[in-house]
Structure 1
Amino acid sequence: MRKLVEIKKILASNKEELKRKYKIREVGIFGSFVRGEQKKRSDIDILVDFYQLPDLLKFIEIERYLEKLLRKKVDLVEKKSIRPQLKDIILSEVIYI
């Protein structure tokens, strides 16, 4: 099972490619992995902020790219699309890379 330290290291080593290829301004981890509550079947919650918002197909491509990179299911969330009732919770626990 992946640990938070490993996830951070993988994302950090690929951050420049994410910026260049997918126009990602910021990338962070939130959810069960940050809180230390992950289970074997937990997905990795990734928060992104884009320079330019991608279309749906490109968004799915980014999610698949991250899943391949991390070898784990990813739930990709765009920062500006967070539901208002969850925004404070997510932003208070996110760890930016």
Structure 2
Amino acid sequence: MRYCLALDLVDDPVLIAEYEKYHEKLRPEIEESIRSAGITEMEIYRIGNRLFMIMETDETFSFEKKTEMDAGNPKVQEWENLMWRYQQALPMAKPGEKWLLLNNIFKL
């Protein structure tokens, strides 16, 4: 299954560069948490301070399972807290929401 999500970064060139640097070589424990949740491929694109993520998942993936796994993983919590320094919620996000799922409105 493919999922597409969006999130904004704090609009500061120095912070954006730092954020990208963290993603050049992902921490092994973070990559393991992503893969063990059933995410087989993940890409993040950026324009300005807007991020766009594409996730390909297998049949074992669910957002609920990923959230539960992340909540019980101190390394993922540390990573999420660090990343939140660079990220900001989209204007339409509810309190506590980060990455928002995009609706597919066209397919060729």
Q: Bin the TM-score by the shorter chain.
A: 0.3 to 0.5
| Structure 1 or 2: more helix by fraction | 1
Q: 1 or 2 for the larger relative contact order (CA 8 Å, sep ≥6)?
A: 2
Larger Rg: 2
| Structure 1 or 2: more strand by fraction | 2
